[in-house]
Amino acid sequence: MSNYDFSTLSPFDFEELACDLLNAHYEKENFEGNFRTFGPGRDKGIDLLLSTPNTNFEIIGQVKHYVKSSFSKLLRDLKNIEKDKVFLLNPKRYVIVTSQELSPDNKIEIKAAFEPYITTLGDIFGRQDLNKILRQNKYIEEKHFKLWFSSTLILDKILNYKFEGRRKEFTDTVLKRKFRLFVETNNFLKAKSILNENKFIIITGEPGVGKSTLSDMMIYDFIKDDYQINIIYDDIKEVEINLRDDKSKQVFYFDDFLGHTQAEINKSKSAENSLLRIISRIENLDHKFLILNTRKFILTSFLDESERFRNFNPLRSEAKIELQSYSYDVKKRMIENHIQESTLSPTQIDVINK
């Protein structure tokens, strides 16, 4: 049974999760509408809103993602920052969602501060309450990819990996921050689909479009499912040596597999036969996957000069994903996540949001 602390979610991720959980929880009350979220920025006291044809502010929800903070800070911020906004908005009902664990006494204190808008302790959701709703609605758990990694069981699996040359990234603090900063796009789901269909994938694009980040998230996803991860640092032939013809779960990852210097590119050309054999073997084995990254112009040049690859076409379009520049909305989410992870004060963040 998963027990999430939600520490791998950014504030915006947590709001989206809270919205889905409240919609599931209040479904039995048959409201003429659903909760919805709003984009990053000043929210005027409204993180979640359920409106009906007769009432604009049927239920207002406030979401506080306070993983590391104390209850005293949560209560103080609710009273000093949110309380006046609620009384000004005058909703029919007010609910509070937080990633903190709450005791019955904690809920009683919060309810007292927001009467008459919070009418029952059942409208105050702490970490335990959210996990209970998740267990009752598994489809929500499956929908939120980054949520899975706030499970202690899953995170421990990743932390146990100590890849040579990448040890510093496999710490609790670094990994959780990396997940919070990551903005999930359609590329992640598309890449997973391509890999599952073809057993290998080529992730290509210009520098800085997120090839390595996307690959890392896919690797963490495999670790979650008990795959052995093999990171190739030098030569594609390392895959041939370590690839096992059995039912064991293996994933091979080679970043910049065609190289980025002329000497490395020349070396990759000499390994054409090995790459072709590896792809053929992996396609015919269960539980074996290959993730390859390269820059777009290097891949194009390589294919232009390799008649064998053009004829065999192992890098066919359906096994390749080309990452484009981030959209405005994705860039905005990325900036918001970095701001939240920064050491800026709440006042400074408020100035930026204006």
The CATH number for 260's domain is 3.40.50.300
Q: Work out how many domains the chain is built from and give that number.
A: 2
In a domain, 19, yes or no: yes
Domain-embedded: residue 35: yes
Q: What is the CA radius of gyration of the chain?
A: 24
Distance between CA 149 and CA 231 in Å, rounded?
Answer: 21
Please give the structure tokens belonging to residue 335: 């900036």
Domain extent for 67: 11-146
Neighbours of 342 (CB within 10 A): 11
Q: Which residue has the tokens 């993180």?
A: 47
- CA–CA separation, 120 and 96 (whole Å): 11
For residues 349 and 343, give the distance between their C-alpha atoms in angstroms, rounded to a whole number: 10
Strand 48-50 and strand 35-37: pairing? antiparallel
Per-residue pLDDT tens digits for 311-337: 655 555 567 788 777 787 888 888 888
The answer to whether position 334 is within a domain reads no
Is 159 within the bounds of a domain?
A: no
Q: Give the range among 102-111, 117-126, 263-272, 340-349 with minimum mean pLDDT.
A: 263-272
Token look-up 């997940």 returns: 179
Residue 157 lies in a domain: no
Q: What integer is the mean pLDDT of 19-28?
A: 92
**Do 213 and 139 have their domain in common?**
no
- What is residue 227's DSSP assignment? P
**36-74 per-position pLDDT tens digit:** 998 665 567 899 999 988 888 999 999 999 887 899 999
- Cα distance between residue 12 and residue 183, in whole Å: 10
* Interval 79-105: pLDDT, tens: 999 999 999 999 999 999 999 999 999
Q: Map tokens 């499956």 to a residue.
A: 142
CA-nearest of 256, 253, 277, 279 to 268 is: 256
Q: Say if residue 195 is in the same domain as residue 315.
A: yes
Does residue 328 lie in a domain region?
no
End of a domain among 119, 146, 173? Answer: 146
Q: What is the pLDDT of residue 230?
A: 87
* CB atoms inside a 10 Å sphere around CB 289: 20
Phi/psi for 342 (5° steps) reads -80, 180
DSSP 7-74: TTS-HHHHHHHHHHHHHHHTGGG--SS-EEE--SS--TT-SEEE--SS-TTSEEEEEE--SSS-HHHH
